[in-house]
Structure 1
Amino acid sequence: MMDKNEKTADTDQLALDFVQFAVESGVLRFGEFKTKAGRMSPYFFNAGLFDDGAKMGRLAEFYAKAILASGMEFDMVFGPAYKGIPLAATVAVELARHGRNLPFAYNRKEAKDHGEGGTLVGAPLKGRVLIIDDVMSAGTAARESIALIQAAGATPYGIAIALDRQEKATENGRDVDHSAVQYVRRELGMQVCTIAKLADLLQYLAASGGGEDMKAHHERVLAYRVRYGVGD
């Protein structure tokens, strides 16, 4: 099984293709954006703007290819409310199209007191569960999903995200020397699969023929990484 951190020529190209797709879809934007940590970021990734059938279909294809290339072994997928719900559903469909038909489930933010009740919807949580989400900023949403999965008697095995920002997480208002992805890998012992990383965004900007604008974006994103970035 391939190491989840190991990259090949195919996954490198997949990452660059995804960055281009995100930029062309208006999901990955450049400018000045304030993050949850209070930082002024020169770029912003909003997966909620994958907002039509064609974009969601292609996004699911990127997820499925990255997940299959990672070699991760899991029994079902889980989508945390809210953005993770359509992601888990469409990725499950795409995985089935690639020959891996797996159950999926998601949670509600508020428990339902009629019908089937509870906060969980879909297939029963069991076995090794892969969480599908867009990004990880502080790891808070991941911990919530992990608690839900464990409470159901299943095993939180891994997390698949679209973009790893590769920047320092914050705890109690202070920067720490690890990212949310690194925390999940090292402290929680879970696998993490990413379609693309900040390093891939920088490579895309450096190779782009977009002229002075792209050069300026590259310089600002690089400066941001120097200030707040972490390694793999």
Structure 2
Amino acid sequence: MTWKNKFIEFSLKKGALQFGNFKLKSGRNSPYFFNSKYFYTGSDLLKLSQFYVDMIIRDPIKIDILFGLAYKGIPIATTIAIILYKKYNINLKYTFNRKEIKTYGEKGIIVGNNIQKKNIIIIDDVITSGITIQESISIIQKNSNDNIISNIFVALDRRERGTIKKNSAIEQIKNQYSCNVFSIINIYDLIEYLSLKKIYPEKIKKIQDYQKSYGIHQ
């Protein structure tokens, strides 16, 4: 099995890849959903985060800080930092954002290490229209204009259009922020896997119909 197939099987087994009718933040109604909350044990987090680590170390990239997007990117980024140190002796700093600004104590919306003048890798679970990532980059840039968003890593790229119709979400982010976006799998990897295994044929058809409305080509 390829590492993509291993990830898909892991996600299906844990119930993180779901099929049904789901309203997304983008307002789109989707026949499938990726919910990383189902990776809720230490073993699950280690296994999930190792897939990210494999992407990160595959090619040399400059990293100062791992930035976990609230909320689902936070435990993933934290676990990635631990794996990188324990297995590869890479001692990275990590930080994350709050959904709401804290008005007491240390206050603010950024938790963790100072992110000024840093090469930042953003960690999240899914990219759909790119809205969440754009909002988070805006938070990072408000903290310091000297920050560089070097790369973004997600588990699933839904391969959908961004807020600008002619561009995919990934193309839009690449053009706007001059960074690369990497994913463990994209929706076409899932379609190919389900087709080869001959499972959920009715669900494949719904996903393909959805892609005709909101998706981009492989």
For CA contacts below 8 A with separation 6 or more, give which structure has more relative contact order: 1
Using the TM superposition, give the Cα deviation of residue 89 of structure 1 relative to its aligned residue in structure 2, in angstroms: 0.7
The whole-number CA distance in structure 2 between the counterparts of 1:228 and 1:138 is 9
Aligned residue for 1:159? 152
Alignment length, in residue pairs? 214
Aligned residue for 2:122? 131
Moved more, 65-74 or 83-92: 65-74
2:95 matches 1:105? yes
Q: Which runs of 5+ in 1 are unaligned?
A: 1-11
The whole-number CA distance in structure 2 between the counterparts of 1:108 and 1:36 is 18
RMSD of aligned C-alpha atoms? 2.1
Using the TM superposition, give the Cα deviation of residue 198 of structure 1 relative to its aligned residue in structure 2, in angstroms: 0.6
Out of 18, 22, 26, the position equivalent to 1:33 is 22
Aligned residue for 1:69? 58
- TM-score by structure 2 length? 0.87
Give identity over the alignment, percent.
36
Out of 203, 209, 221, the position equivalent to 2:207 is 221
Aligned residue for 2:6? 17
Cα distance change on mapping 1:40 and 1:194 into 2, 3 Å: same
Superposed, 1:86-97 pairs within 5 Å as 86-97=75-86
Q: Which runs of 5+ in 2 are unaligned?
A: none
CA contact (8 A) 2:128 2:159 kept: no
- TM-score by structure 1 length? 0.82
2:110 matches 1:117? no
Using the TM superposition, give the Cα deviation of residue 73 of structure 1 relative to its aligned residue in structure 2, in angstroms: 2.6
Aligned residue for 1:231? 217
Q: Which runs of 4+ in 1 moved over 6 A?
A: none
The whole-number CA distance in structure 2 between the counterparts of 1:38 and 1:119 is 26
Cα distance change on mapping 1:41 and 1:147 into 2, 3 Å: closer
2:206 matches 1:205? no
